[in-house]
Amino acid sequence: MRRRLLKAVALPGYQVPYASRELPIARGWGTGGLQVTLSLVGPCDCIKVIDQGADDSVNAANLRRFIARMTGVETTTDALQATLIQSRHRIPEERLREGQILVLQVPSPEPLLPVQPDLAKAREMHADADYALMWLSLYEQLVQYGTFTTGAEYPVLVHGRYLMSPSPIPRWDTPMLHQAAHVTLLAAGREKRLYAVPPYTDVYPLEFEDVHFRVESQQGRVCYQTGARHKLMNELPQPDGQVRYQLSDSGYATKLWQHQQGDTVTIGATYYDDAGNFYHRGYLKPDTDPA
């Protein structure tokens, strides 16, 4: 595992095969991420585990309980305090810093799967850096629907070479991988593939010169608990047909709420500011859908 992690960091975005072992957690429930976390954890580490942005989700709580039981390390819900964050499908809203490690759980590591289900052929396409089918599929989306239809798991090109699945993080989180201060390790236990985005590495979503990648619109959404805006929100359907919104990042929400109660908490700088601007200015291009 450790040998393969080093290879993964040396080959940004390239899927390194590894022998995933059976763990006392069901396959598909984060065994890949768990193996990475367990191979990294040292006595001074402090772990945060999140699922869909929440520390309190049962699966996150279960993995956290397991890691603490196996290693005896400290746990936290604060993204700033954590040295290692294992996450399913989200990146915290507060900017991660140098030295922090983000481990993302990956259900399907192969970004070419929708256009090439034969994994041996997909590997050849990566070897040739031949991503024509992927571009074609994006173009077809535009023709049929007038917009890119990919939801989460938006494919990205890493270090100008490998097409990579960023795991099913929302598009909102995709830019956070670009020229980040932290290292991101991605692991698929079931598919037995590991890959990485080192710090300060180019990560660009596939987009056309005239039709740009877009993050999920958070326009007009206000967290009903904290009043926060321009962060990724959960949409909560109400019995009367209305909807309310809640911050997806529960660790961040807790700190905002504690701050509002007058507690002393450190809230870090976020990737998106309160007006919705991403911190790497110019990375997200203006809206240019054909219509």
Partner 1 sequence: MAYVATRGGEQAMRHAEQFFRTLNGPVDTACIRLIQRHMPYLIDRIMGEASLYAPELAALALVQTGGDLYEAVLLLRAYRSTQPRLAYAIPIESEQTLTVRRISAAFQDVPGGQMLGPTLDYSHRLLQTELLDPTQAPPPRVPMPEADTAAPRHYQPVTTWQRLNGLLDAAPEHPPCDPVDIPDVTRQPVTFPAPRAQRLQLLARADTGGLLTLGYAGMNGYGITHPTVNELCLAYADVYLRNPLTGTPFSAGRVRISQAEIVTPFRGGEAQLGLGFAATMGWNEVKVIAAAMLDLEMDGPDPHPAHQEAFVLTHTEAVEASGFCIHYKLPHYVTFQSNLDSLRRAQTQASHRVPATEQNE
Partner 2 sequence: MQSVPIDARERRFQAVFSAMLAAFSYPGRLQAPWPAATPCIDACTAIADVLIDLETSFYTPDAELHQRLIRTGARVKPPEQADYQFYPLLSEANLPALQAAPVGSYLYPDHAATLVIGCLFAAGLTLRLQGPGIQSTIEQPIDQLPAAFWTLRTQVIQYPRGWDVFLLDGSRLLGLPRTTHAEIL
> Does 7 interact with partner 1 (rule: CB under 8 A)?
no
Give the separation between CA 152 and CA 141, rounded to whole angstroms: 15
Interacting partner of 275 out of partner 1, partner 2, none (Cβ under 5 to 8 A depending on kind): none
Under the criterion CB under 8 A, does residue 120 sit at the interface with partner 1? Answer: yes
**Contact between 199 and partner 2 per CB under 8 A:** yes
Site string for partner 2, 32-71 (x = CB under 8 A): -------xxxxx---------------------x--xxxx
- Name which of 149 and 277 has its Cβ closer to partner 1: 149
Residue number with CB closer to partner 2 (52 or 71): 71
Q: Which 127-146 residues touch partner 2, going by CB under 8 A?
A: 127-128
Sign of CA dihedral 68, 74, 79, 84: negative
SS (H, E, C) the chain: CHHHHHHHHHCCCCCEECCCCCECECCCCCHHHHHHHHHHCCCCCEEEEEECCECCCHHHHHHHHHHHHHHCCEECCCCCCCCEEEEECCCCCECCCCCCEEEEECCCCCCCCCCCCCHHHHHHHHHCCCCHHHHHHHHHHHHHHCCCCCCCCCCEEECCCEEECCCCCCCCCHHHHCCCCCEEEEEECCCCEEEEECCCCCEEECCCCCCCCCCCCCCCCEECCCCCECCCEEEEECCCCCEEEEECCHHHHHHHHHHHCCCCCCCCCECECCCCCECCCCCCCCCCCCC
Q: At 54, give phi and psi (nearest 5°).
A: -105, 135
Neighbouring residues of 178: CB distance < 8 A, sequence distance ≥ 6: 201, 202, 203, 204, 280, 283
**By the rule CB under 8 A, 104 interacts with partner 1:** no
Q: What is the closest distance, in whole angstroms, from the C-beta atom of residue 133 to partner 1 in the complex?
A: 18
User: Taking CB under 8 A as the criterion, which residues in 42-101 touch partner 1?
Assistant: 51-59, 61-62, 65, 77, 88-90
Provide the mask over 224-263, with x wherever binding to partner 2 is found by CB under 8 A and - wherever it is not: ----------------------------------------
- Per the listing, tokens 């393969």 go with 4
Out of partner 1, partner 2, none, what residue 28 binds, judged by CB under 5 to 8 A for its kind, is: partner 1
Using CB under 8 A as the binding rule, whether residue 124 contacts partner 1 is answered as: no
Q: Smallest distance from the beta carbon of 269 to partner 1, in angstroms?
A: 21
Tell whether residue 92 is a contact of partner 2 (CB under 8 A). no
Residue 248 is a binding residue for partner 1 (CB under 8 A): yes
Footprint of partner 1 on 221-240 (CB under 8 A): 225, 232, 234-235
Contact residues for partner 1 (CB under 8 A)? 17-24, 26-29, 31, 51-59, 61-62, 65, 77, 88-90, 107, 118-120, 145-153, 168-172, 190, 192, 214, 216-217, 225, 232, 234-235, 248, 250-251, 253-254, 257, 289-291
Contact residues for partner 2 (CB under 8 A)? 2-12, 14, 16-17, 39-43, 65, 68-72, 98-99, 123-124, 127-128, 159, 161-162, 179, 183, 198-201
